[in-house]
């Protein structure tokens, strides 16, 4: 379903930092788990990070652990992804996702019913 909008993608040099954010439509009453996925050309969508409704549980893929930080601000209906020490292999379209169901920080695509349109993140060598 529609209802999420990402912002903050762009071009950054390897080793740099970039922040992306995702805003939920006012038509969505509440989202429990939220997550970030990414998809590079010719590859399937892969899990990046997820966060539980209250923010007490987070999960990260091994490839981004220690470099990326997911956070949320429920009052502002926002979820964020802080990306540090970026690598060229991080280049992808980044999608935010959310679910109104009581799913705790799932890493599975099919557990999320709300999706953003994606924002391009490009990391140059």
pLDDT, tens digit (0-9, with 9 covering 90-100), for 53-78: 999 999 999 999 999 999 999 999 99
| Cβ–Cβ < 8 Å for 60, 115 | no
Instruction: Name residue, tokens 């903050």.
Output: 8
- Within 13 Å and on the Cβ side, how many CA atoms surround 92? 20
End-to-end CA separation in angstroms for the chain: 35
| Cβ–Cβ < 8 Å for 60, 44 | no
pLDDT grade, residue 29 (50/70/90)?
confident
Task: Give the per-residue pLDDT at 102.
Answer: 86
3-state secondary structure (DSSP) of residue 111: helix
């Amino acid at each position: 379903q529609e209802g999420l909008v990402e912002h903050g993608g762009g071009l950054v040099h390897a080793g740099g930092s970039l922040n992306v954010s995702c805003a939920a439509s006012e038509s969505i009453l509440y989202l429990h788990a939220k997550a970030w996925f990414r998809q590079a050309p010719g590859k399937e969508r892969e899990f990046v990070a997820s966060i539980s409704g209250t923010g007490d549980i987070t999960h990260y893929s091994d490839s981004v652990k220690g470099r990326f930080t997911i956070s949320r601000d429920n009052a502002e209906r926002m979820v964020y992804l802080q990306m540090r020490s970026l690598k060229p292999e991080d280049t992808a379209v980044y999608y935010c996702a959310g679910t109104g169901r009581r799913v705790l920080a799932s890493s599975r695509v099919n557990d999320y019913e709300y999706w953003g349109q994606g924002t391009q993140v490009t990391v140059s060598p």
